[in-house]
Chains A and B, each alone.
Chain A
C-alpha cells in the first residue's frame, strides 16, 4: 500500500525558508515524479513542481525564483524548500506521486497534507 507523509515545521517566520520533507512508502520509487502541491486557505490547489530520481526538477514559474526541491533515493524521501516566505505562502502543502498514463499526468497518491503558517 502506497503511503506518503509530509513533515516539517507548522510555523515559519516571514522572510525565512519553509522546509518540508515527504517520506514515501512505495515500490519502484525511482519510477515516479515526486510532486509538491499546495492549497492556500480558500484558494485553488497550486502545483509547485516536481523532482525526479536524477535530481532534475521542474518548478511553477510563479515560484521558480524561491523554490528548490531535492530527493534522497536511498531513503525514499524528497524535500521542498521555499525561501523568503511571506503570509501568501500560508497553505496546506501536499506531496504527491505523479506518473503518466497514455501521456496524461496523474497524481495517484497524495499525503494527507501539512498546514504551514507563515507568521511572526
Chain B
C-alpha cells in the first residue's frame, strides 16, 4: 500500500494567515492526489483533485500543488470556516489511502 504522510499533524493560526500543509507519498503517484476538508460530525468535503484542480464551489483561497511524491495545500487567507482537519488521499493505486490529517486550530 502507498503510505501518505502529512505534516504538520496540527497547527494554530489566525484569521487572515497563510496556511501550508504538506503531504508526502511513499512512492510516486504522479498527480493522483486529492485534498479534503473535514469538520466534526460531517463527511469530508472534496477541495482539490488531481493535485491542483479546484473542485466546483470551493473558494479560490484554496490551492494545491505538487507531483510525484510531494504535495502542498495552501490556504491563502484563513477564514473562520476553515478551521477543520485536512486530509490528502492518493488514487494512483488500489487500495486508495489517506494521510492521517492536519488539524487547523484557532490561535
- Please report A residues at the B interface, Cβ cutoff 8 Å: 4, 43-47, 58, 60-62, 94, 96, 101-113
Contact across chains for A45 and B34 when beta carbons are under 8 A apart: no
Q: In the complex, what residue of chain A is closest to B87 when comparing beta carbons?
A: A45
Most buried by A among B44, B55, B100: B44
- Please tell me the number of chain B residues within 8 Å of chain A, measured between CB atoms: 26
Contact of B59 with A by CB under 8 A: no
Contact of B80 with A by CB under 8 A: no
Interface of chain A: mostly helix, strand, loop or mixed: strand
Q: A112 vs B44: C-alpha distance in the bound complex, in angstroms?
A: 8
Contact across chains for A106 and B43 when beta carbons are under 8 A apart: no
Looking at the complex, which one of B55, B91, B98 makes contact with A108 (CB distance below 8 Å)? Answer: B55
If A44-B100, A104-B32, A106-B34 touch, whether A60 touches B95 (CB-CB below 8 Å) is yes
Contact across chains for B95 and A61 when beta carbons are under 8 A apart: yes
**B-chain residues with CB within 8 Å of residue A103 when the two chains form the complex:** 32
If A44-B101, A104-B34, A106-B34 touch, whether A4 touches B50 (CB-CB below 8 Å) is no
**A-chain residues with CB within 8 Å of residue B41 when the two chains form the complex:** 112-113
